[in-house]
Copies of this chain bind each other. A is one copy, B any other.
Amino acid sequence: MKIIKPTLIVNKDRVMKNILAMKQKVENSPGQIRFRPHFKTHQSAQIGQWFRDSGITSIAVSSVDMASYFAQNGWEDITIAVLVNPLEIEVINQLAKTFFLDLNLLVDSREIVTLLNNELKHPVKLWIKIDTGYHRTGVTWDQKDDILGIVNAIKRSPRLHFRGLLTHAGHSYKAASSKEIKGIYDDTVSKMNEVREYLEKKGFSNIEISIGDTPTCSIVNKFYGIDEVRCGNFVFYDVMQFFLGTCQEENIAAAVACPVMARYPQRNEIVIYGGAVHLSKDSITGKNNQKIFGLVTLPQNDNQEWGPIIKDTYVSRLTQEHGIIKTDSEFIKQINIGDILMILPVHSCLAANLLKIAPGGQNP
């Protein structure tokens, strides 16, 4: 496969393994749990099709535009897993009138429930976003009166159907160990169930619980105490998850193929065509406190796959179009200008958003 500029390469075998592993864990867990993978990671109809081929029918997305795109590609059960943006109510109405579409929206205030009741022309299902510790959006889990107020407001509306409680335990990305990540799962489930029990005591029933971050979903052996799993990053994983210990190297299913533009043996650095507009500026901190913007592998199988991570070698800096790789005198000897290096991205969602997956999903 000929590559001349930075290109996202997806390893379909690994993607399918990642999908099936998560799906089987959901199915092997007690109770009836729905698997609703988050499609913001790949944003691709073709990779969506691979999920469909695996038996998946429910998805989450992170924008109204993404919901429209996947609805046009035949998906019939979609959660827009960000709070309703009242400025997009017209577009949401367009989507909601699609006769086959089960549209799920998120709210965390009575104000937005009132607005939806007044402005929506078609029925939708609502989840209440709960903050269990990440502190991005959501009603704080122990503000039970506020939560009850929102449920009551939903129940009063003929067009709004209350479906349940949804949280994103994104603080799991800051955890220092697998044990801590497991602790965040337990804590999240405990808080969410406390809210559910409170609402049940107030007379409500059939309240679902939806959770979603890839770290906790990857670490737990079996899910319990929930009704829906909504993770997304697991489809590709990336260097951030690998450093967190939530995946193995062989789970990483997306890499950015980058041409070598220059090599500087005197400072053991290689410069690639592949920068902030290809990999994103997301970084992690390495053991020696160094910033890491990607790990380095060599291409295999005609640029369609890649080999093991090269030791003592990493993307140390990014400018708009360039990446600067720090390495050692051994590795730099093997590399020539015009070679391709396969960079494992720190955050695959952002790299895939920048580079886009080709329509049809084929590697180029």
Contact = CB atoms under 8 A, between A and B. Distances in A.
Interface stretch (A8-16, A80-88, A214-222): A80-88
A67 B136 CA distance: 41
A90 to B, nearest CB: 8
A77 B243 CA distance: 46
Interface string A238-265: 0000000000000000000001011000
B324 A112 contact: no
A63 B321 contact: yes
A313 to B, nearest CB: 17
A229 interface: no
Interface residues of A, number: 50
Given A276-B350, A277-B353, A86 B322 contact: no
A64 B91 CA distance: 37
A350 B317 CA distance: 15
A349 B277 CA distance: 10
A261 B337 contact: no
Contact of A136 (B111, B112, B319): B319
B4 A281 contact: no
| Copies per complex of this chain | 2
Contacts of A283: 281
A329 to B, nearest CB: 17
A289 B124 CA distance: 44
A323 to B, nearest CB: 10
A286 to B, nearest CB: 17
A320 B3 contact: no
A69 to B, nearest CB: 14
B320 A62 contact: yes
A267 interface: yes
B320 A353 contact: yes
Nearest to A346: B281
A113 to B, nearest CB: 12
A261 B3 contact: no
A261 B5 contact: no
A83 B262 contact: yes
Given A62-B320, A320-B40, A320-B353, A82 B280 contact: no
Contacts of A135: 267, 269
A228 interface: no
Nearest to A349: B320
A137 interface: yes
Interface of A: 3-5, 40, 62-65, 82-83, 85-88, 91, 108-109, 111-112, 135-137, 140, 170, 259, 261-262, 266-267, 269, 271, 273, 276-277, 280-283, 317, 319-322, 324, 337-338, 349-350, 353-354
14 contacts: A4-B87, A5-B63, A63-B321, A82-B321, A86-B337, A111-B337, A135-B269, A136-B271, A136-B324, A137-B262, A170-B319, A276-B282, A280-B281, A354-B354
